[in-house]
Amino acid sequence: MDLLLQGRYCTCDAGDVSVHEGYVGVADGRIAHLGPNSVPAAEVVEVDGCILPGLVDPHTHLVFGGTRVDEFARRMAGEDYRTIAAEGGGIARTVRGTREATEDELFERAAARARALRAGGVTTVEVKSGYGLSTDHELRLLRVARRLQAEGLVRVTTSFLGAHTVPPGRDRASYVDEVCAEQLPAVAEAGLADTCDVYCDGVAFTLAETRRILAVARDLGLRLRAHVGQFDDLGGAGLLAELGALSADHLEAVSDADLDAMASAGVVAVLLPGAWRTLRQTPPRAERFRERGVAMAVGSDLNPGTSPTADLGLCAALAVRDAGLTLEEALLGVTANAGRAAGVEAGALRVGAPADLAVFPFADPRTLAYALGGSRASAVYLGGTRVAGEPSAPLW
């Protein structure tokens, strides 16, 4: 064994959120031992607090240029998002800011955000493109996302989101044609995306457009997810169930029938408290998902317009307070269920899994969803290598 952590641990595997006393052993970057008995190891670390699987953020727009502080001020003063968007604000503004930035500038900003997430215990991040909206610009964002992993910051899974919005001045039908016939094949050819995402909503793409884009993506070998039901229920969640998608994200507006379809197909619901808070929306109700057996995950939705946060623990805490998740559900929402939604082997302590670990200073892992943000990991391991964290006393 290369490394042996001794202390309390919580596996989050197969719904287990109980606390065990014992040992987590690491060999060759993977978890090689888990249990009450010690085993020989080159290095033994005694842990105060609790060892959790590295957290998984299943929904971010991490790579972008520019800021939208002034727009937020206007919206909080009562101006309508659509008025601001019609003047060239909103997503279109971030597209301009992103296109103007160099690839290195985009990387430095994205790396800072990844480090902030990691300080809160996150070791795997789903990163979307979607602020490029042309083949070259979308490829650039996906390259930046992959570089975060290549440079050892966090593990990354990438989603192509060319269908985030119709670029200003473009005809929507010709843009959807471009996404299907040019952007998606180029992204698949470059091998830069694991998943295809679409923003399916009244303010974005229709259900028919979403179906067409996701079908092309599936034929190119990408897995699928989409933003659905953020404002309007267009039936996107049902489509994702039909297509066997990994996750359906937002779901403020979704029918019971589509939730049943998601449960049958094993599509994970990704809830995004940062967005419903920033937009002052009515949150989804956890009991609807729970009753139907739909697995719930929680994402930061880190983006400059509607969810400017790099604190996944805060999002878990808001999911409890706003949507009614139990603390245990919120914990699984940023670990095992988030790993499922992201489509990666992460979010659970299990022998054979990559040794991505987050050690928190508190003894009860539910503290992550109790504390209203600000939870910092005292050590973070990526593939068994310590990458972040400073020893600290529990705040709560």
The contact set with Zn ion (CB under 5 A) reads 301
CA angle (123 as vertex; 384, 220 as ends), nearest 5: 110
Which CB atom, from 127 or from 261, has the smaller least distance to Zn ion? 127
Q: Which among 250, 277, 304, 293 is positioned nearest to 101, based on CA atoms?
A: 304
Tell me how far, at minimum, the Cβ of 309 lies from Zn ion, in Å: 12
Strands 122-128 and 223-228: unpaired
- For tokens 């930061």, what's the residue? 300
Tell me how far, at minimum, the Cβ of 120 lies from Zn ion, in Å: 19
Tell me how far, at minimum, the Cβ of 382 lies from Zn ion, in Å: 25
Task: Round the CA-based radius of gyration of the chain to a whole number and report it.
Answer: 20
Name every residue whose Cβ is closer than 8 Å to that of residue 43 and which is 6 or more positions away in sequence.
Answer: 2, 3, 4
CA dist., res. 360 & res. 10, Å (int): 11
**Any idea what DSSP says for residue 373?**
S
Tell me how far, at minimum, the Cβ of 385 lies from Zn ion, in Å: 30
Tell me how far, at minimum, the Cβ of 48 lies from Zn ion, in Å: 36
- The answer to whether the CB of 384 falls within 8 A of the CB of 3 is yes
Which CB atom, from 278 or from 367, has the smaller least distance to Zn ion? 278
CA dist., res. 41 & res. 117, Å (int): 30
Which CB atom, from 107 or from 131, has the smaller least distance to Zn ion? 131
Which CB atom, from 13 or from 197, has the smaller least distance to Zn ion? 197
Tell me how far, at minimum, the Cβ of 288 lies from Zn ion, in Å: 21
Tell me how far, at minimum, the Cβ of 100 lies from Zn ion, in Å: 22
Tell me how far, at minimum, the Cβ of 209 lies from Zn ion, in Å: 17
CA dist., res. 136 & res. 133, Å (int): 8
Which CB atom, from 50 or from 315, has the smaller least distance to Zn ion? 315
Which CB atom, from 128 or from 155, has the smaller least distance to Zn ion? 128
Which CB atom, from 149 or from 247, has the smaller least distance to Zn ion? 247
Tell me how far, at minimum, the Cβ of 205 lies from Zn ion, in Å: 13
- For tokens 């309390």, what's the residue? 8
CB atoms within 10 A of CB 44: 15
- The answer to whether the CB of 175 falls within 8 A of the CB of 153 is no
- Please give, one letter per residue, the 3-state secondary structure of 230-284: CCCCCCHHHHHHHHCCCEEEECCCCCHHHHHHHHHHCCEEEECHHHHHHCCCCCC
Which CB atom, from 258 or from 301, has the smaller least distance to Zn ion? 301
Which CB atom, from 278 or from 378, has the smaller least distance to Zn ion? 278
Task: Give the pair of three-digit tokens for residue 271.
Answer: 């809830």
